[in-house]
């Protein structure tokens, strides 16, 4: 029952087709113009601080 879908002389081939043109040519220009990384908001900074506190091994003072 193995290999029922392919005939004996057919072989699986990996075809490389050229990439299609962009659907919206204006979108390409907008994507290139997109802003870089933004500053994190206060909520994200708070969460990062909480995660850092949980990770840190706290030792009692002597």
The Cα 32–Cα 22 span in angstroms is 14
DSSP string, 11-54: ------PPPPPPS-HHHHHHHHH---PPPPPHHHHHHHHHHHHH
Report the pLDDT value the prediction gives residue 11, as an integer from 0 to 100.
67
pLDDT at 44: 94
CA dihedral 42, 45, 51, 54 (to 10 degrees): -80
- The reported pLDDT for the residue numbered 10 is 64
Mark the ranges of the chain whose per-residue pLDDT is less than 70: 1-12, 22
At 5 the pLDDT is: 64
Say if pTM beats, i.e. exceeds, 0.85. Answer: no
């Amino acid at each position: 029952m193995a290999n029922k879908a392919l005939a004996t002389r057919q072989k699986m081939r990996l075809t490389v087709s050229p990439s299609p043109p962009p659907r919206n040519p204006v979108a390409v220009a907008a994507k290139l113009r997109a802003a870089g990384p933004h500053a994190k908001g206060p909520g994200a900074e708070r969460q990062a601080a909480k995660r850092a506190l949980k990770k840190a091994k706290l030792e009692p003072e002597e």
